[in-house]
């Protein structure tokens, strides 16, 4: 391990179960804490899994949001920020639930997965963004098509902090993000699932040289990916120790403290909760956790 990367902050971790894809995959907070504890992840921004149960509509979404809020309340040092989830078909009821989970449960915004939750990242999200803008917060957005849509949100809502999820999944995708979001002051980029080994033509170092070293964040995309691969990519990259530490944790700490100024990064890794049933938490199918 690179000494400067002795702690990570994960801005892109999902808690819950995706049931809309075969086979269902998920993790509860305890399992993720167990994973954190053995991968030097000291803290995380958590949000529900997209594609969760929806047999009762927005009631199910509320339960997803409550699960995040309870994890944050139980482990405020590990989970200083929790985000809710929004589904396009809930319309006004979904906007009301977002406002409820932010006001009553202390969540700080929302995560949106356009493919699994039906969004197009266009006007349909404006009512949700109005809530976040009014209450102050952040949004983790998975992409649907060009990242120019995120840039348009960032211009319309300069007070919201946006994270583009999976900004570096492919050279073409990264180019699009750099082009549209690279100079926006309220957009950060996470590198969840950045393929390894690193290719010099679109390396982490090149990304940082284009968008600035304060803008790139580590994201795990747990429970879907063996994110230790991305950690190795950061540590093996030709980044300076300072740059690598910023990507691993420093930039995320700065972002979190904008909203939680008294929060401090725990100096030690998370501990697996007592009573966690165990099993192999790192079983993979290729690059994917199972």
Residues lying near Zn ion in the complex (CB under 5 A) are found at 221
Nearer to Zn ion, 90 or 142 (CB): 142
Smallest gap, in angstroms, from Cβ of residue 14 to Zn ion? 6
- By beta-carbon proximity to Zn ion, the closer residue of 11 and 154 is 11
In the bound state, the residue with its beta carbon closest to Zn ion is: 221
Instruction: Report the nearest approach of Zn ion to the CB of residue 241 (Å).
Output: 28
Judged by beta carbon, residue 88 or residue 93, the one nearer Zn ion is 88
Between 50 and 239, CB nearer to Zn ion: 50
What are φ and ψ of residue 266, in 5° steps? Answer: -60, 135
- The least distance separating Zn ion from the CB of residue 274, rounded to whole angstroms, comes to 29
Task: Give Cα separations from 6 to 40, 48, 190 (angstroms).
Answer: 6, 27, 19
Q: What is the CA radius of gyration of the chain?
A: 17
Least Cβ distance, residue 221 to Zn ion (angstroms): 5
Q: Which is nearer to Zn ion, 4 or 26 (CB)?
A: 26
User: What minimum distance in Å lies between the beta carbon of 159 and Zn ion?
Assistant: 24
Both tokens assigned to 149:
């849509």
Q: Which tokens go with 87?
A: 């589904």
Cα–Cα distance measured from residue 259 to residue 251, given in angstroms and rounded to the nearest whole number: 13
The CA–CA distances, whole Å, from 187 to 158, 239, 254 equal 9, 22, 13
Contact 129, 102 (CB under 8 A): no
Q: Centre a 10 Å sphere on the Cβ of residue 23 and count the other Cβ atoms it contains.
A: 7
């Amino acid at each position: 391990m690179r000494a400067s990367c002795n702690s990570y902050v994960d801005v892109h971790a999902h808690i819950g179960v995706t049931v809309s894809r075969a086979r269902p995959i998920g993790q509860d907070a305890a399992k993720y804490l167990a994973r954190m504890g053995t991968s030097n992840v000291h803290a995380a921004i958590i949000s529900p899994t997209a594609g969760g149960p929806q047999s009762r509509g927005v009631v199910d979404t509320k339960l997803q949001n409550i699960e995040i809020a309870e994890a944050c309340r139980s482990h405020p040092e590990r989970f200083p920020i929790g985000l809710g989830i929004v589904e396009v078909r809930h319309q006004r009821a979904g906007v009301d639930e977002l406002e409820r989970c932010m006001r009553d449960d202390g969540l700080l915004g929302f995560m949106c997965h356009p493919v699994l939750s039906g969004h197009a990242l266009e006007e349909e999200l404006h009512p949700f963004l109005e809530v976040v803008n009014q209450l102050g917060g952040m949004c983790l957005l998975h992409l649907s098509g060009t990242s120019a849509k995120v840039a348009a949100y960032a211009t319309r809502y300069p007070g919201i902090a946006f994270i583009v999820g999976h900004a570096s999944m492919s050279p073409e995708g990264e180019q699009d993000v750099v082009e549209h979001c690279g100079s926006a002051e309220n957009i950060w980029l996470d590198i969840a699932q950045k393929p390894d080994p690193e290719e010099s033509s679109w390396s982490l170092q090149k990304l940082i040289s284009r968008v600035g070293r304060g803008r790139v964040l580590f994201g795990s995309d747990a429970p879907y990916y063996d994110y230790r691969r991305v950690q190795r990519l950061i540590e093996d990259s030709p980044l300076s120790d300072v740059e690598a530490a910023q990507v691993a944790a420093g930039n995320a700490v700065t972002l979190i403290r904008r909203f939680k100024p008294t929060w401090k990064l725990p100096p030690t890794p998370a501990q697996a909760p007592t009573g966690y049933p165990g099993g192999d938490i790192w079983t993979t199918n290729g690059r994917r956790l199972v």
